[in-house]
Amino acid sequence: MSSILNVSMKEIYEGIKTKRVLIVLVVFLMAGAGYAYWIKSTLMRIEVLDTDMALNAAQNAQISSMMFFLAVIGAIFGADAINREVERGTIKVTLSHPIYRDQYLIGKFLGRMAVVIMAFLIFAVGSIAFLLILGVPLGSEFVATFVKMLPFFVLFSLVYLSLGFLLSTFIKKPSTAIIVAVILPIFLEIVYPSVASTLVVLMSLREGVAPTNPIVLQEALKKIYLLLSPIPGYHMDNILNAIKYGVSTSEFSELLASGGFSLTLEPSNISYLEAIGIAWKNIVALVIMFLLPFAIAYAKFMKMELR
C-alpha cells in the first residue's frame, strides 16, 4: 500500500508541475469565458422564447462543457503515463526498487486521477465564476445539480483516464499517443454523435415518412440512442436527466415523441437515490467503460517489454 501511495504522490507532484495541465486549463477557461459572454448576450437578446427555458438549456450546456473538459484532460493526462517512462528509461529504475508492476500502475493511475480531478474543480469553479461575474443567474438548482453530479464527473474522468492509459501501453511514442488522446474525445463526444444522428434522420426522410410523425420520431430516437450507447457522454446525459428531471434520456425521447417538439420538462423533486435508480444502467455502463480499458492496459503492462 505504501508503494502505491509513494507512486501516487510522485505523480501528483509531477502532474502539478507540468505545463500540460496548465495549458489545457487556460485554454478551457478562456473558452469558458467566451462561452459565458455568449450566454449572457443570448439571454439579453431573447424576447420571444421563454427565458427560463433558455437559461435551463444554457446551464445544461455549461455542465456539458465541464464533461468535455474532463474527457480531454483525462485522455491527454493518461496517454503518456507509461510510454514516456519507458522511453526515458526511468521505469526500469523505479521497478528496480521493491515494488510490483501492478502497484506501480495503480499508483500512477490514482496519482493522475487526483490531478485530473483537481484541474476539473478549478475549471468548474472558474467557469461558474465567469457566469456570475457577467451577471448570468445560475440559482441554487444549478449548484445542487452540479454537486449531485460530482461522483459521476469523477467516474466519467476515470473512463477517459483509463482510455488514456490504454493508449500509453499500446502506442510507444508519447507524442503520438497524446495526439490520439486529443482526437479521441472530440470524435467520441462530438463527431460520432453528430454523424450518427444525421444519418438516422436522413434514412428516416428517405423512407418518405414525415419526421413529425410520433411513431417515426420515436423509432428514430431509439436508433440514435442505440448508436450512442458506446459513448460515455451519452450515459452522463442520461444521469443528468435522471437527477434533474427524474427521467432517463430514453424516457425523455418517448415523452418528446408523444408530446411533440414543444414539450418542456420541469425540474423534478425526486430523491437522489431515486434518480440513481432510474439511471443505474448508465452508471453500470460507465463503470464497465472505465474497467475494461484499464483491465486491458493492466494485462498489456504486466507483459510489456520495458527496454
CB atoms within 10 A of CB 190: 13
pLDDT band at 43 (very low <50, low <70, confident <90, very high): low
Nine cell digits for residue 188: 467520441
Lowest mean pLDDT among 5-9, 17-21, 54-58, 221-225: 54-58
Quick one: which of 217, 293, 210 has its CA closest to 254? 217
pLDDT tens digits along 114-171: 988 988 888 888 877 877 777 766 677 777 888 888 899 999 999 999 999 999 999 9
- Round the average pLDDT of the chain to a whole number and report it: 81
End-to-end CA distance of the chain: 26
Tally the domains of the chain: 1
pTM, 2 dp: 0.86
Say what the pLDDT of residue 292 is: 96
* Cα atoms in the Cβ-side hemisphere of radius 13 Å centred on 235: 24
Cα distances from 293 to residues 162, 284, 289, in angstroms, run 6, 15, 7
The alpha-carbon radius of gyration of the chain (Å, integer) is: 21
The Cα–Cα gap between 290 and 113 comes to: 12
Say what the pLDDT of residue 261 is: 45
Contacts of 259 (CB under 8 A, 6+ apart): none
Nine cell digits for residue 74: 483525462
Is the confidence at residue 193, as pLDDT, over 80? yes
Three-state DSSP at 227 gives: helix
Say what the pLDDT of residue 225 is: 86
Say what the pLDDT of residue 181 is: 93
Say what the pLDDT of residue 212 is: 62
The Cα–Cα gap between 211 and 223 comes to: 14
- Estimate the crossing angle of helix 139-170 against helix 51-79, to 10 degrees: 20
Quick one: which of 104, 51, 31, 101 has its CA closest to 304? 101
pLDDT tens digits along 211-230: 566 677 777 778 888 888 99
pLDDT band at 49 (very low <50, low <70, confident <90, very high): low
Domain that holds residue 43: 3-303
